[in-house]
């Protein structure tokens, strides 16, 4: 594939993810070599790194993406032992954010490691990036200093094969389901909660999470900004999902709700839990079904 074309296809979505207070620039090599990789996974790499850059610049800054052809010679390999010498396509993503200390830099690709506050990060984004890069036979390095920003450099093997996976110009699934709204995710099953949160954050949503109704109610009450959507399990210890939704409406009257449960829709409907602005999904459901339902609710008139 042509990495420049992939980047061009998601540029508008990336701009929506970072907001207007960040100066976003892209510099691409006009004769960039081809790579062998999965297009959807490469899009995930861009999205995850850009979201991390955005979060590192809460007051604004500059974000730059560059592509170029590089030759990693013996000297470079001597300094980076795990790298094989050869021709590569380089993607560099740089921000002027808060940067990180060395101890943090050494752990950023560890699964579930995060420096974000409780409820604001899963620690899965950069570990996903690392896995995709390695699966594509590439290498990733991060350069950062506290207070001086961060640069990610991704090296993917350059090949001479012709393009066979040209991206389509229309909005694909990731573009169509992306958003920047604030979602409160509530489920007492940690595995389900973390999996859903990772998928939502990957598409740009700001996700708060709680393991029960009481914790979620406190989060919602302390939230100064808007809460656009509540996704909650119905049956939970203490405050159930339906009671939580009613409680949150006091401070967030425009919030929309998706109830999720192992029970069937017929059972939930018979208990008169559904009304306008509230949708229901029966477990198990695919992430695509959830993402489609989210956009249907958020894009509908108030």
Q: Look up the pTM and report it.
A: 0.58
Model confidence pLDDT, tens digit, residues 124-148:
568 788 888 988 999 998 888 888 8
Task: Calculate the CA dihedral of residues 51, 56, 62, 64 and round it to 10 degrees.
Answer: -50
Query: Residues of CATH 3.30.565.10 domain(s) within the chain?
Result: 3-157
**Whether the predicted pLDDT of 154 surpasses 60:** yes
Query: Residues of CATH 3.40.50.2300 domain(s) within the chain?
Result: 177-299
Q: How far is CA 126 from CA 20, 90, 246, 272, in A?
A: 24, 18, 36, 42
Region 97-103: what's the mean pLDDT?
A: 82
Give residue 114's pLDDT band: very low, low, confident or very high (50, 70, 90).
Answer: low
Region 267-275: what's the mean pLDDT?
A: 56
Region 3-24: what's the mean pLDDT?
A: 86
Region 42-60: what's the mean pLDDT?
A: 87
Question: Residue 13 and residue 24: Cα distance in Å, rounded?
Answer: 12
CATH architecture label of 177-299: 3-Layer(aba) Sandwich (3.40)
Query: What is the predicted pLDDT for the residue at 15?
Result: 84
Residue 76: how many CB atoms within 10 A of its CB? 13
**Whether the predicted pLDDT of 117 surpasses 80:** no
Query: What is the predicted pLDDT for the residue at 186?
Result: 93
Region 252-262: what's the mean pLDDT?
A: 88
Query: What is the predicted pLDDT for the residue at 160?
Result: 85
Question: Residue 302 and residue 298: Cα distance in Å, rounded?
Answer: 9
Q: Please answer whether residues 228 and 182 qualify as being in contact, where contact means their C-beta atoms are separated by less than 8 angstroms.
A: yes
CATH classification for the domain delimited by 3-157, as one of 3.30.565.10, 3.30.420.40, 3.40.50.300, 3.40.50.150: 3.30.565.10
Region 243-254: what's the mean pLDDT?
A: 89
Question: Residue 28 and residue 4: Cα distance in Å, rounded?
Answer: 7
Question: Residue 157 and residue 210: Cα distance in Å, rounded?
Answer: 41
Region 31-50: what's the mean pLDDT?
A: 89
């Amino acid at each position: 594939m042509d990495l420049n074309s992939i980047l061009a296809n998601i540029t508008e979505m990336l701009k929506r993810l970072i907001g207007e207070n960040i100066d976003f620039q892209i510099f691409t090599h006009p004769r960039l070599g081809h790579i062998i990789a999965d297009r959807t996974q490469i899009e995930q790499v861009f999205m995850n790194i850009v979201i991390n850059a955005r979060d590192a610049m809460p007051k604004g800054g500059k974000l730059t993406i560059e592509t170029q052809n590089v030759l990693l010679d013996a000297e470079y390999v001597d300094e980076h032992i795990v790298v094989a010498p050869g021709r590569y396509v380089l993607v560099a993503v740089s921000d002027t954010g808060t940067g990180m200390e060395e101890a943090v830099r050494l752990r950023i690709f560890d699964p579930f490691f995060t420096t974000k506050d409780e409820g604001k990060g899963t620690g899965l984004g950069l570990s996903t990036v690392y896995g995709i890069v390695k699966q594509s036979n590439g290498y990733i390095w991060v350069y950062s200093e506290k207070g001086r920003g961060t640069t990610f450099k991704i090296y993917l093997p350059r090949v001479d094969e012709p393009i066979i996976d040209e991206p389509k110009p229309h909005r694909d699934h990731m573009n169509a389901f992306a958003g920047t709204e604030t979602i409160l995710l509530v489920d007492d099953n940690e595995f389900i909660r973390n999996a859903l949160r990772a998928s939502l954050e990957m598409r740009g949503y700001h996700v708060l999470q709680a393991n029960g109704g009481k914790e979620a109610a406190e989060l919602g009450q302390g939230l100064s900004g808007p809460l656009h959507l509540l996704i909650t399990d119905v049956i939970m210890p203490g405050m159930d999902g339906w009671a939580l939704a009613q409680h949150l409406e006091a401070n967030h009257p425009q919030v929309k709700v998706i109830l999720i449960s192992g029970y069937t829709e017929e059972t939930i409907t018979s208990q008169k839990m559904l009304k306008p602005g509230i949708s229901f999904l029966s477990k198990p459901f695919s992430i695509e079904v959830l993402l489609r339902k989210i956009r249907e609710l958020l894009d509908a008139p108030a």
